[in-house]
Structure 1
Amino acid sequence: MDNTKTFWEAHKEVYATAVAAPMRALVAALADEFGEARIYRPYRDVRFAKDKTPYKTHQGAFVAKGPSTGYYVQVGAPGVRVGSGFYEASPARLASIREAIVDDRRGRELEEILAALRSSGWEIGGNRLKTSPRGYDADHPRIDLLRHKSMNVGKSYGFEPVIHTPELVDRVRADWREVTPLVEWFLRYARG
């Protein structure tokens, strides 16, 4: 509620012990299977933002498996959130993803992966074009997928009691295993 430098300096130890240390422990417990995570800094980049509040209200960590592709976990005021996908693509990389989506076999494979994730509670998100991408027919059966400029899946735990127990590691591990087919699909077909 008080997002000022004065408050931050007075409570920096709380951040270090109650936020940063548990996040480091969580990602360290997952590192053997998924790889080392990058824990994001608590400071916001306010140079070009209208909102000049200096500190984030959540703590996130990302395990990169490829360019802009990997696993994500976040703790914040709404609770714990896990996710996966790709958050940015160069024009060449996005073209190769769209090429795979258009291909019947590879495109159907992605549809099946996303349908399975959606049926088990994952939300599909990402930045999307409002219209069809240049060169693609608006009537294409996978036009909704072709409009994506980034694609991610996410699931929130809220403040379920599990987030305050060692069982959280098992829950995040199980969810990241569940989204691994999506990560692998992007790693196979996103070139550039």
Structure 2
Amino acid sequence: MGFSGFPDEGLVFYEGLEADNSRAYWTAHRADWETHVRAPMQALVDELTGEFGTPKLFRPYRDVRFSHDKTPYKTHQGAVLHPAGSGLGSVYVEISADGLRVAGGCWRLQPDQLDRFRRAVADDLQGPRLVAEVDRLRSAGYEIDGDRLVRSPRGWPGDHPRIELLRHKALHGSHRWEPSDWLHTPTAVDRVRDAWRAFAPLNRWLDDNVGATTAPPDRRR
């Protein structure tokens, strides 16, 4: 089945889940999630797999083991795609009662990746290239975010010309569209595709200059 849009019933489902995040609500409305949320999300990423890589839909259940918030279910459905051969950069899409959100970049850097990231940011060739990509995305209306230090990282001067990027421990761009009529039509896949293409240069920079972690799985944070 091809992607035909995100039905309004899916957004209504999440409005109800935000009001009643309980097992009783989930059990009573699980079929709505399957039909009006998960199925169209799967159809959307299936259409984009050829260009953007293998998709993974996230589970609807929250990991509450280390969280003060014990509500059991996520109030959004997300999916991530990793391009073939990509060492770090990925793209993301999410549907919720608030609308449609897209993102691209990296969400966590392991210590070895963070070291390579900062060295590349400080490099007089690669650093300005990243600055140009960040400026381009901001000018196009995308938000730039990612965990970052409040102060300068150890070993780097506070007056470094790219100190704001050096403070980052992750780096990604994103954009959110509020609910609108086009969200319920095939136009939504075009919006996602265009945004992911806009993130492609950032992901290439991350892949070329940072790449996959070399840390063994049992030492990754």
Q: 1:69 deviation in Å? A: 2.8
Q: Aligned AA for 1:9? A: T
2:168 maps to which residue? 148
Unaligned 5+ segments in structure 2 are 1-18, 214-221
2:197 maps to which residue? 177
1:2 maps to which residue? 20
Of 10, 14, 19 in structure 1, the residue corresponding to residue 32 of structure 2 is 14
Give deviations 1:6-57, integer Å, cap 9, x for gaps: 1111111000001000100010011111112110000000111111100000
Cα contact 1:68–1:87 (8 A) shared by 2: no
Give deviations 1:85-126, integer Å, cap 9, x for gaps: 101111111100110000011000000011011001000000
Q: 1:163 deviation in Å? A: 1.1
State TM-score, norm by structure 2.
0.85
Distance 1:68 1:34 in 2: 13
2:208 maps to which residue? 188
Q: 1:186 deviation in Å? A: 0.1
* Residue 97 of structure 1 pairs with residue 117 of structure 2: yes
Give deviations 1:106-159, integer Å, cap 9, x for gaps: 000000011011001000000000000011000000000000001110001111
Which gives a bigger RCO, structure 1 or 2 (Cα 8 Å, sep 6+)? 2
Cα contact 1:68–1:88 (8 A) shared by 2: no
Of 37, 44, 61 in structure 1, the residue corresponding to residue 55 of structure 2 is 37
Distance 1:105 1:17 in 2: 49
Q: Aligned AA for 2:36? A: A
1:70 maps to which residue? 90
Cα contact 2:77–2:94 (8 A) shared by 1: yes
Runs of 4+ in 1 over 6 A off after TM superposition: none
Distance 2:61 2:88 in 1: 21
Q: 1:68 deviation in Å? A: 5.0
* Residue 56 of structure 1 pairs with residue 77 of structure 2: no
* Residue 26 of structure 1 pairs with residue 33 of structure 2: no
**What root-mean-square deviation, in Å, do the aligned CA atoms of Structure 1 and Structure 2 show?**
1.0
Cα contact 2:94–2:101 (8 A) shared by 1: yes
State TM-score, norm by structure 1.
0.97
Unaligned 5+ segments in structure 1 are none
Cα contact 2:78–2:94 (8 A) shared by 1: yes
